[in-house]
Amino acid sequence: MYPLLETIRFENGEFSNPEYHFRRMHQSVQMCFGQSLQFDPEKVLQEALPAMENKQGLFKFRLLYGNKHYQWEFVPYKLPCIKTLKPVVANSIEYHCKFTDRSNLNNLRQLKGKADDVLIIKNGEVTDTSFANIVFYDGSRWVTPKNPLLKGTRRTALLDAGLITEASITPDDLPNFKEARIINAMIGLEDAAVIVEYM
């Protein structure tokens, strides 16, 4: 019923980067339906706030929606510890909007073996993991793949702030980086575990 999903970090009474989520929602509905979003996402967040009155800690706000209707829920969230990635090739995969149907990504994740997650390679370039963008540290700057499967809100915010930069990254480039971390709406650069191995 709801083809699209937006996940927003909610911590100690505040939503993180809401304006980036609003922008993506408008873009996704235009892309998927060729129409404008028929409700105000900012009002949805205001509607949801009373449910979390006096609650502390980290929560995932899941907003499922189409162009006209929506539903939401808050889910307690624990930061994952992703330290190992298994590179997998998937040249035909598409995930340009944050769809509720993640079956293609979940199928790829089944290929992770003993690693914590997969690192998806498309057309010879590093893209994303199964649920997050990735950033690499080269000793002087943080770099993120130029052609991710999904342009995440955290990724966009960090690019806008000049804290990370884009570059085309191939699997052969991976040993040249000193450090790597995953980022998404729920995981900030400072939250993520350091990736220590590509398996």
**Residues 40, 123 within the same domain:** no
**Residues 100, 173 within the same domain:** yes
pTM: 0.93
Q: 101-110 burial string, b = 16+ CB within 10 Å, else e?
A: eeebbeebbe
Pairing, β 142-145 against β 164-167: parallel
| Amino acid in the structure at residue 77 | Y
pLDDT of residue 195: 86
Residue entry with tokens 């911590």: 11
Residue entry with tokens 């729920």: 186
pLDDT of residue 176: 92
Residue entry with tokens 């995932």: 60
Domain boundary among 43, 76, 109: 76
At 23 the three-state DSSP class reads helix
What is the total count of domains within the chain? 2
Does residue 133 contact residue 183 with C-beta atoms inside 8 Å?
Answer: yes
CA distances from 69 to 29, 31, 63, 65, 111 (A): 12, 17, 10, 6, 35
CA distances from 132 to 70, 98, 111 (A): 24, 11, 16
Structure tokens at 28: 């996704």
Look up the CATH number of the domain holding residue 192.
3.20.10.10
pLDDT digits (tens, 9 = 90+) for 120-136: 999 999 999 999 999 99
**Residues 145, 186 within the same domain:** yes
Does residue 38 contact residue 30 with C-beta atoms inside 8 Å?
Answer: no
Domain boundary among 23, 47, 76: 76
Of 2, 187, 18, 28, the closest CA to residue 98 belongs to: 28
pLDDT of residue 73: 97
**Residues 94, 51 within the same domain:** no
pLDDT of residue 194: 87
pLDDT of residue 87: 96
Look up the CATH number of the domain holding residue 26.
3.30.470.10
Greatest C-alpha distance within the chain = 49
pLDDT of residue 11: 95
**Helix-then-strand count for the chain, H and E:** 4, 12
The packing angle between helices 153-160 and 18-33, to 10°, is 120
Domain boundary among 55, 76, 97: 76
Give the residue numbers spanning the domain of 68: 4-76
**Residues 58, 103 within the same domain:** no
Residue entry with tokens 């929606």: 65
Of 146, 135, 142, 118, the closest CA to residue 184 belongs to: 135
pLDDT of residue 113: 95
Residues β-bridged to residue 72? 63
pLDDT of residue 198: 87
Give the chain's residues under pLDDT 50: none
Pairing, β 84-89 against β 70-76: unpaired
Does residue 67 contact residue 33 with C-beta atoms inside 8 Å?
Answer: yes
